[in-house]
Amino acid sequence: MTERERWIRYESTKRPVTVAGGAASSTDPDTWSSYGQAKASTAGVGLGFVLGDGIGCIDLDHCLMDGLPDAAAARFLKGFAGHYIEVSPSGDGLHIWGTCDERPGTRRHEGELSVERYSTGRYITVTGRVFQNGALLPL
């Protein structure tokens, strides 16, 4: 991911911004930057990666308690052994990163778990707070 020029910054409201602090868009490549530029920027409060070009993410909300997955999340995560997974900015969610074809995003409840799947037209925050070391494997 760090080799792709699909990086932005975001504000505390989750509004995407450019490395210079202007408005960014998940659908306008002219507002994206390299990883190095985004990492060095002080605009906003953190890094974001614009999905697409074969990279997608599964967002699990409110599934961690004291850093551990609840029962529903633990069952779900069994299907993602070997994937790179980060803790979300809130500290109680997870982002499962991987490869996938571009398709419409979905937001569903799978049992007690809120599961969002995205692969285009959105950005996802990148915290660097590793929950599970791994690779970008098929989602």
Three-state DSSP class for 52?
A: strand
Cβ proximity of 110 and 63 under 8 Å: no
Catalytic residue (one of 5, 61, 70, 102): 61
61 is catalytic: yes
62 is catalytic: no
Q: CA 116, 117, 118, 124: dihedral to nearest 10 degrees?
A: 50
**Strand boundaries in the chain, DSSP class E:** 7-10, 16-17, 46-50, 55-61, 64-65, 68-69, 84-87, 94-99, 106-110, 113-118, 123-126, 130-132, 137-138
Catalytic residue (one of 53, 70, 92, 116): 116
Nearest alpha-carbon partner for 123 in 43, 59, 30, 41: 59
101 is catalytic: no
28 is catalytic: no
Supply the residues annotated as catalytic. 59, 61, 95, 116
